[in-house]
Amino acid sequence: MWAKDSSSATGRERQNLVGYGFCAHGLVASSTTGRELRSGSSSHNDITLSDHLDGYRVSILNQQFPKSMRVVKGDDFTRAIRQGGCAADGTIVVFAIPRAKELEGPTRLGVTIPKKTGNAVVRNQWKRLIRESFRTQRPRIPAGFDLVVRPKKDAILDGSIIRKGLPRLAGKAIQRIR
């Protein structure tokens, strides 16, 4: 997947490297100059594994989860759980509430995992799967809402069920608040 020639990316390209991601054609890297650097070809634009390991700033493109997309305040969590619509399946529970008029924008996600769910490793696995599902399913979720997601009591962690259920449950929860 990575080019073998460590000199294939110029020093300037390595300095400007800001991200990489996967597409149908393989790994794609992006630089601050706006050029795409693709791996797998023998052209001058290849990036190498050594470029990645040399400590250059690398982040995944279009898969970021910035603070503006998260529910972070305790009051917002409480408001969504107490006043919002609720929908559940056998794995997760989704609470939804419209965002305040002055804060309209993209749908935000809040994740709360009770300690009864398991130890820290298990709770972090739940958080990662829920956040990943939200990022990948974001186009299927209506904008302008705060969503709070938690696992159901004694639920089994299954990423495919979470990925399929999150957009469907978000839609149901949104319908129930209107």
pLDDT above 90 for 48: no
pLDDT at 176: 93
pLDDT at 66: 82
pLDDT at 33: 43
Tell whether pTM > 0.75: no
| Percent of the chain surpassing pLDDT 70 | 63
Assign domain 67-177 to its CATH architecture: 2-Layer Sandwich (3.30)
Q: Is 146 helix (H, G, I), strand (E, B) or coil?
A: strand
Give the integer Cα–Cα distance in Å for 144 and 134: 14
Give the integer Cα–Cα distance in Å for 176 and 167: 14
Residue bearing tokens 């969504």:
80
pLDDT above 80 for 121: yes
pLDDT at 92: 97
Sorted by where each begins, the domain ranges of the chain are 11-60, 67-177
pLDDT above 80 for 74: yes
Give the integer Cα–Cα distance in Å for 145 and 142: 7
Give the integer Cα–Cα distance in Å for 164 and 124: 20
> φ, ψ for residue 96 (rounded to 5)?
-135, 145
Alpha helices in 97-155 (DSSP H): 120-137
pLDDT at 38: 43
